[in-house]
Structures are given as structure tokens and as C-alpha cells.
């Protein structure tokens, strides 16, 4: 406990020093200008020096008046250029935050009392990233949550809110001071963090942080070519234009009428509250998942899963494996993949009814990363053979096939960032 108190005292000491420095700088700004002091000395001196001082003062006032007149009425071209420079600066800052994985507006961090936001480091793929990883079915990991707040590193028992994905815990006050969660998000965290639904911290909620530097560069280049401005909302026409460009670049052909309908269905899935536009982060998470599906193997996606996610996968698999032979059917595997999105059900109605609506073609999105395969729901539809329905799926296969859906269920948003299996 002494170590923790000393850490807290060090933080308080640094904050006090910052307050003293800020007060000292504010005092310097409020000090009178040296010219006024010189003017006072002249007035206290001999009489002959007064006319000269008055003359200099008059010249100074005339110069200031001219500067005021010149600056009072800038031309229209000057105003336009200044506005263009401001817009360019805002866009550059947005691109910089997108590249570095920071999704916070500048004004949200422009507060002297806020804590320093963490520096995100994008992951690097290891040499064995595509190799299979052994995950035992019978042995649960049950990783314990951290004992101290991830921000201030202080333990305060019941005041800590755990992440449902990783082992980090947080104080609501620290997250508010950090500037990453607004009032509504903070209240949602307080309401859900200690429930079965759970809450994802800002590390796990942001799927874009899973991309490497190379993957992020590829995604940013696509955004720039399609003139997508980071941190801006997208309407349906903009999403259609983006999908048309992606199809032209990858397959050298435009979208068909059927594919356009699927894009609009994707728009509806990303806009569950019917606002008429897609929030930036919902669009970014969808595209980040598309990049993961394009560049990562199933084994690589399994390595991204946390201990809590693997434990939940075990519980789901064992719940479906009624005869306990370590094998389930393909139909049961798809049912399990839908179960990751039970968190979307915020009312008292049946989760199964809600998922049936979300899994219909009108609510499922598409990805532009490649053509639809023959075994996909869009191509097979109701003609899926019974042999495929009863195909055996082992624990290892179940984990590899479900990895992308487990990751897609991380965000706290109610939007659907991936197509659910039918």
C-alpha cells in the first residue's frame, strides 16, 4: 500500500508543478509592457523631455491606427485562403490521428487538467504468425483482471471497471480526464461493465489498432483515392461511390444492381439507429475487419484472441457439444458465431428473434476485399446441402472459423461490422 500511495504522491507532485508553471506563465503575460515603464520614467524626468515623449507616443498611436485599419477589412481572397488553410490543417490532423490510432478530436485534449493520452503502437507480425496454435478445450484459462487502474495505477476496489476483452481495469474519473470517453459512453460503461454484457475498453473497442503499419497504409491509400475524409460521417451515396471505386480498382468493373442493394443493406446494418448516416468509427471498424480478412490467415486471427475470448468460445462450444465427443455440426457452428452478437440485444425480447432479423440479407453487410465465394451465404442461399449442415467441426476448426466473428463483436457500438453467417 505504501508503494501505491507513493505513486499517487508523485502524480500529485507533478500536477502541482504543472499548476505552478502555468500560473508563472500567466503572470508573465499580465506584466505591463516595458514601453509603458519607460514612458513613466520620462514623465518623472525634466520638462524638455516631455514634448519628445508625447511626439513618440503620437507616432505610435498613428502606426497602431494604420495597422488596425489595414486589418479591419481584409479582402475576400484573403478570407478564402485563410479558411482553406484552416480546413487543410484540420484534415492533416485527422489523417495523423488515423495513422497513429488516435480517435480523439483536438479540442477534447486541449484541457490543462487532462491526463496524457497513451501512445498507441501498431502491432508487428511475427514469423510464426500463420502457424497453428494449440488451444486446449478442457483447460479454462480464467485470466484475472488487473488490480490497479490502467491509467493512474491506483487500487480503489469497487470503483474499478473491468474490460470484458482484456484484463485492464479503469476508474471512470480517469477515463473522463483522459478525454477518450464522453458522458454517454461513461454512463454506458457504468451500466454494463459489471454485467453479463460487459464493456470494451478503448484499446479493445478500436478494431483499427489491430492493423499493422503496412495494412494501415494500404487502407489509408484507399481512403485518399476515394476522397474519404477521416472522422467524417458517410451517407449512403458516399458509401456507394466508395464501393464502386473499390470494385473498379480490384475487379475492373462496376457494381451490379444486386451488389448495390447489398451495399445499401450494409449501410442499414452500420446505421442501426436510422440516423441517415454512418458514424466514422463504425465505417472504420468495418473496413479494418475487411483488411484483416484479406491479409490474415485463420491461425493469425486466433492469435489475436484474448484469454477471456477463448474462455467464452470454450463455453459456447461445450454448450453445443451435448454428447461431449469434441465435435459439433456445421449448423451448430454458425449458431455459435451468431451468439457473439447477443450483446446487441438491449431490450427484454428474445435474442434469437433479434438475431434472425440481423441475419437476414437486408441487414447483412458485404466486404469489398474479394469476390463472394461459392460457399458464402449470398451465393448458396437456401440451396445449402444437408451434408454441409451436418459436416463435423472440431474444436480447433471451430476456433479458426469463429475468430473473425469474435473479434468483430468487440466494439461497444450496436452497429454490425461484419456479415453474420446464415
pLDDT at 181: 80
| % the chain with pLDDT above 90 | 35
Of 332, 300, 282, the residue nearest 403 (C-alpha): 300
pLDDT at 136: 92
| % the chain with pLDDT above 70 | 60
Contact between 122 and 216 under an 8 Å Cβ cutoff? The reply is yes
**pLDDT above 70: residue 8:** no
Residue by residue, DSSP assigns 221-286 as HHHHHTTPPTT--B-HHHHHHHHHHHHHHHHSSPPPHHHHHHHHHHHHHH-TT--SSB-HHHHHHH
pLDDT category at 79 given cuts 50, 70, 90 is: low
Tens of pLDDT along 149-189?
A: 998 888 876 689 999 999 999 998 888 888 778 888 889 99
pLDDT at 21: 61
pLDDT category at 306 given cuts 50, 70, 90 is: very high
Average pLDDT of the chain is 74
Is the pTM higher than 0.85? The answer reads no
Residue 96 or residue 116, greater confidence: 96
Greatest alpha-carbon span in the chain: 111
Residue 84 or residue 144, greater confidence: 144
Residue 16 or residue 200, greater confidence: 200
Residue 407 CB neighbour total at 10 angstroms: 27
pLDDT at 338: 80
278 strand-pairing partners? 234
Tens of pLDDT along 33-57?
A: 554 444 444 444 444 444 444 555 5
Taking residues 117-123, report their average pLDDT.
76
Tens of pLDDT along 224-270?
A: 888 888 888 999 999 999 998 888 887 888 888 999 999 999 999 99
Residue 67 or residue 280, greater confidence: 280
Whole-number Cα distances in Å, 414 to 208, 271, 272, 291, 360: 17, 9, 7, 21, 16
> How many helices and strands in the chain, by DSSP H and E?
19, 4
pLDDT category at 210 given cuts 50, 70, 90 is: very high
Tens of pLDDT along 333-392?
A: 988 888 777 554 444 333 333 332 333 322 333 333 333 344 444 444 455 556 677 889
Residue 409 CB neighbour total at 10 angstroms: 22
Residue 152 CB neighbour total at 10 angstroms: 19
pLDDT at 112: 43
Q: How many CA atoms lie within 13 A of 403 on its CB side?
A: 23
Q: Which long-range contacts (CB under 8 A, 24 or more apart) does 395-398 make?
A: 395/135, 395/137, 395/317, 395/326, 396/132, 396/135, 398/313, 398/317, 398/328, 398/333, 398/336
Q: Is 157 exposed, middle or buried (0-12, 13-18, 19+ CB in 10 A)?
A: exposed
Rg (CA), the chain: 29
Q: Give me 87's grid cell.
A: 480546413
Amino acid at each position: 500500500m505504501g508503494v501505491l500511495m507513493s505513486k499517487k504522491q508523485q502524480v500529485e507532485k507533478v500536477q502541482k508543478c504543472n499548476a505552478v508553471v502555468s500560473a508563472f506563465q500567466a503572470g508573465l503575460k499580465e506584466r505591463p509592457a516595458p514601453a509603458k515603464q519607460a514612458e513613466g520614467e520620462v514623465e518623472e524626468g525634466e520638462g524638455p523631455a516631455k514634448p519628445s515623449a508625447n511626439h513618440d507616443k503620437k507616432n505610435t498611436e498613428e502606426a497602431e491606427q494604420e495597422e488596425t485599419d489595414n486589418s479591419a477589412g481584409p479582402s475576400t481572397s484573403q478570407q478564402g485562403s485563410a479558411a482553406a488553410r484552416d480546413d487543410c490543417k484540420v484534415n492533416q490532423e485527422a489523417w495523423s490521428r488515423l495513422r497513429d490510432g488516435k480517435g480523439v478530436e483536438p479540442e477534447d485534449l486541449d484541457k490543462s487538467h487532462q491526463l496524457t493520452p497513451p501512445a498507441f503502437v501498431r502491432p508487428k507480425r511475427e514469423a510464426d504468425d500463420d502457424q497453428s496454435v494449440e488451444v486446449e478445450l478442457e483447460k479454462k484459462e480464467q485470466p484475472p483482471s488487473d488490480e490497479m487502474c490502467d491509467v493512474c495505477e491506483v487500487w480503489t476496489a469497487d470503483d474499478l471497471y473491468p474490460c470484458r476483452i482484456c484484463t485492464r481495469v479503469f476508474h471512470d474519473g480517469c477515463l473522463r480526464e483522459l478525454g477518450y470517453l464522453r458522458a454517454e459512453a461513461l454512463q454506458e460503461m457504468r451500466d454494463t461493465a459489471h454485467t453479463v454484457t460487459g464493456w470494451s475498453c478503448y484499446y479493445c473497442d478500436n478494431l483499427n489498432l489491430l492493423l499493422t503499419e503496412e495494412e494501415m497504409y494500404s487502407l489509408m491509400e484507399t481512403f485518399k483515392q476515394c476522397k474519404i475524409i477521416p472522422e467524417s460521417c458517410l451517407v449512403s451515396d458516399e458509401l456507394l461511390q466508395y464501393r464502386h471505386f473499390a470494385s473498379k480498382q480490384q475487379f475492373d468493373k462496376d457494381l451490379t444492381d444486386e451488389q448495390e442493394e447489398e451495399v445499401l443493406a450494409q449501410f442499414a446494418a452500420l446505421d442501426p439507429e436510422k440516423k441517415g448516416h454512418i458514424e466514422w468509427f463504425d465505417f472504420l471498424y468495418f473496413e479494418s475487419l475487411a483488411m484483416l480478412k484479406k491479409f490474415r490467415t485463420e491461425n493469425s486471427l486466433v492469435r489475436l484472441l484474448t484469454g477471456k475470448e477463448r474462455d467464452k468460445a470454450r463455453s459456447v462450444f461445450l454448450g453445443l457439444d451435448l454428447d461431449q465427443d469434441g465435435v459439433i455440426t456445421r449448423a451448430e457452428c454458425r449458431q455459435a458465431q451468431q451468439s457473439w452478437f447477443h450483446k446487441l440485444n438491449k431490450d427484454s425480447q428474445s435474442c434469437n428473434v433479434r438475431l434472425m432479423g440481423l441475419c437476414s440479407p437486408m441487414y447483412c453487410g458485404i466486404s469489398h476485399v474479394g469476390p463472394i465465394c461459392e460457399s458464402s451465404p449470398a451465393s448458396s442461399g437456401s440451396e445449402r446441402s444437408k451434408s454441409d449442415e451436418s459436416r463435423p467441426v472440431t474444436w480447433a476448426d471451430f476456433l479458426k472459423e469463429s475468430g473473425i466473428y469474435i473479434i468483430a463483436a468487440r466494439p461497444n457500438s450496436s452497429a454490425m461490422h461484419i456479415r453474420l453467417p446464415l
